Amino acid sequence: MSVLLFVAIIAVCYLLFRYAYSTETPKIEGIPEVPGLPFLGGLVALGECHARKAKEWSEKYGDVFQVRLGRKRIVFANSYASVKDLWITQQSSLISRPKFHTFHGIVSTSQGFTIGTSPWDASCKAKRRAAATALNRPAVQTYMPVIDLESAVSIQELVNDSQKRKFGINPVAYFQRYALNTSLTLNYGYRIDGSVENEVLKEIIDVERLISNFRSTSHNWQDYVPLLRYFKGKNEKAVEARKRRDAYLEVLLKRLKDDIRSGVDKPCITGNILKDPEAKLNHEEIKSICLSMVSAGLDTVPGNVIMGLGYLSSPHGQTIQQKAFEAIREVYPNNDAWDMCLKEEKVPYITALVKEVLRFWIVIPIGLPRTSIGDMTYNGAIIPAGTTFYMNAWAANYDPAQFTDPEAFSPERYLNSAPEGTPHFAYGAGSRMCAGSHLANRELYAAFVRLICAFEITEADRVEDRPILDALECNGIPTSLTTDPKDFKCKFRVRDEGLLNGWLEKSLGDVKM
């Protein structure tokens, strides 16, 4: 072997070695690093459930550590205090989002990015401002007739189906529809009529769940390892999901525009923007708001209502359910909670129940990633601008330094001596936290008041039909961005048929079931 060839081989090996351990951003001095494999970094070790593994690593490397995932270097925050420091105290620097190959480069090429996944720029700022105006507390109060209708529709169908299914009912589809129809009505002035078996409803839910996988931090290795992008299988699935989503989004927006031209449109967020001569949003930004409303409507509310019902059906949940029912009756002894839950939140135990559901079933265990736009510090270490951060929201919500006995489901923790600070990280934190949190809270509060007033919720007779009550193990798709609850059943026994029929008649009017 000639000297020149030997030197060339050594040089190639050296370059491969450097590349195998290199990342797009340099190693951060002063932040512990989790070791990883060549080229892949920590991807193999993280497995399907990033939240649980990252929590295990934090016990060895500290609350904040860095890990190489393919070509990307990620800083994980795993405790309540570290999230508070980075996401809230230093929020002005942690305001942008990274771009990923699968979601941003394939799925989002036609409709654009959701507000929540957009990198920070003037356009994102304008979209968030419009969304914040449409979703602030006063605006949300005007949407209560929609929540009135959609919660009543789901409860009426539960009543009907309970009479036919003696072994119990899987509540998933009922509350996916509740959240989706609320979002569609608010954004397009349009709701999907019919039962939970409606094909349009099922198509939107199915596609949005698929796309949630493509937004996940753990599902798409091609986001981290560029070489994998040449294998077309995952790309083809992403393209198919994009086309299916394009089909119904275009139909919804075209229908609204046609209604506006005909003068028969109903008041809604996108309609108000389209008709406002002062609106400064372009067509792409309007599409982004539409996209955000549809996808976000299925991110948090359904999973929390569904798993909340699952817990209320359990033996310990029966005790909580009785306390909640008595608390409602104490505030509303004249049986007017059904109406009043739309006007006010005056049952502290239900407010606490909602917070505990959001804390316990953190339906986005690893929050949407952030990218810093300025240098940040942590324990004396300087983290340079352009660094990608992952919030382990599940670990932070279960941090014993913030929450006494965090593994226990206890609404009482939010009564009297409630923990100080942000009650949970279900909506993220800081300057890019979910703009729809007020709406989601009202949807959850009204749903739980009405469900508890309407039913005694009990567990299924068959053990195999009962829910898994662990916040991570209950997820049917561990690699998804959001929790997709595994199927289970519970039983709904009407408390007072006469009262419930009166409430439902008033709320439903002549709506099509």
Q: What is the largest CA-CA distance in the chain?
A: 96
Residue 290 marked as a ligand binder = no
Under a CB-based contact definition with an 8 Å cutoff, are residues 131 and 267 in contact? no
Q: 341 forms bridges with which residues in the sheet? A: none
CB atoms within 10 A of CB 254: 10
**One-character DSSP codes across 465-492:** GSPP-STTTTBS-TTSSS--BPP--EEE
How far apart are the C-alpha atoms of 220 and 204, rounded to whole Å?
22
How far apart are the C-alpha atoms of 378 and 420, rounded to whole Å?
22
Under a CB-based contact definition with an 8 Å cutoff, are residues 232 and 209 in contact? no
Query: Among candidates 279, 296, 280, 309, which has minimal Cα distance to 438?
Result: 296
Tell me, letter by letter, the H, E, C secondary structure of 12-76.
Answer: HHHHHHHHHCCCCCCCCCCCCEECCECCCECHHHHCCCHHHHHHHHHHHHCCEEEEEECCEEEEE
Q: 494 forms bridges with which residues in the sheet? A: 455
Beta strands 72-77 and 388-391, pairing class: parallel
Q: % helix / strand / coil in the chain, to the nearest 5? A: 55, 10, 40
How far apart are the C-alpha atoms of 104 and 358, rounded to whole Å?
28
Query: Among candidates 180, 495, 483, which has minimal Cα distance to 357?
Result: 483
Give helix 283-296 / helix 232-262 axis angle, nearest 10°: 110
CB atoms within 10 A of CB 415: 14
Question: Distance from CA of residue 428 to its chain's centroid?
Answer: 9
Binding site listing: 434
Binding site listing for heme: 434
